[in-house]
Homo-oligomer: A and B are copies of this chain.
Amino acid sequence: MKIITFGEVMLRLAPAGYGRIVQTDSFNVTLAGAEANVAVDLANMGMDTVYVTKLPENEVGQLVVNGIRKYGVDTSMIVRGGERTGTFYLEKGASQRGSKVIYDRKYSAIAMADGSEFDWERIFSGADWFHLSGITPALGENVAQICIDACKEAKKQGVKISCDLNYRKNLWDRDTCNRVMKEICKYVDVCIANEEDAYDVFGVSADDSDIEGGVLSAEGYKKVADRLMDMFPFEKVAITLRESISASVNNWSAVLCDKDAMYSSRKYTINIVDRVGGGDSFAAGLIYSLTNGYDNQKAIEFATAASCLKHTIEGDFNLISVKEAEDLMNGSGNGRVKR
15 CB contacts below 8 A, A to B, read A19-B314, A21-B59, A22-B66, A27-B27, A69-B70, A85-B104, A95-B270, A96-B270, A96-B312, A98-B335, A100-B338, A214-B334, A244-B335, A247-B312, A276-B337
Contact status A336-B244, CB under 8 Å: yes
**A317 vs B20: C-alpha distance in the bound complex, in angstroms?**
11
Copies in the complex: 6
**A244 vs B337: C-alpha distance in the bound complex, in angstroms?**
10
Question: Contact flags (1/0) for A87-100 with B, using CB distance below 8 Å?
Answer: 10101011111111
Question: Contact flags (1/0) for A15-40 with B, using CB distance below 8 Å?
Answer: 00111111111111110000000000
* A1 part of interface (Cβ distance < 8 Å): no
A interface residues (Cβ-Cβ under 8 A, vs B): 13, 17-30, 58-60, 62-63, 66-67, 69-72, 83-85, 87, 89, 91, 93-104, 106-107, 168-170, 212-214, 244-249, 268, 270-273, 275-276, 308-309, 311-315, 317, 319-320, 324, 328, 332-339
Residue in chain B with minimal CB distance to A308: B96
Additional pairs, 8, CB under 8 Å, beyond known A21-B62, A97-B313, A247-B335 = A17-B273, A18-B273, A22-B63, A59-B89, A69-B69, A99-B335, A169-B339, A246-B335
**A184 vs B207: C-alpha distance in the bound complex, in angstroms?**
60
Known: A95-B273, A96-B328, A97-B335. A25 touches B25 (CB 8 A): yes
Contact status A102-B18, CB under 8 Å: no
Contact status A271-B95, CB under 8 Å: yes
User: Which of B29, B60, B67, B271 contacts A102 (CB under 8 A)?
Assistant: B60
**A20 vs B13: C-alpha distance in the bound complex, in angstroms?**
17
Residue in chain B with minimal CB distance to A58: B102
Contact status B22-A96, CB under 8 Å: no
User: Which of B67, B214, B338 contacts A98 (CB under 8 A)?
Assistant: B338
**A71 vs B103: C-alpha distance in the bound complex, in angstroms?**
24
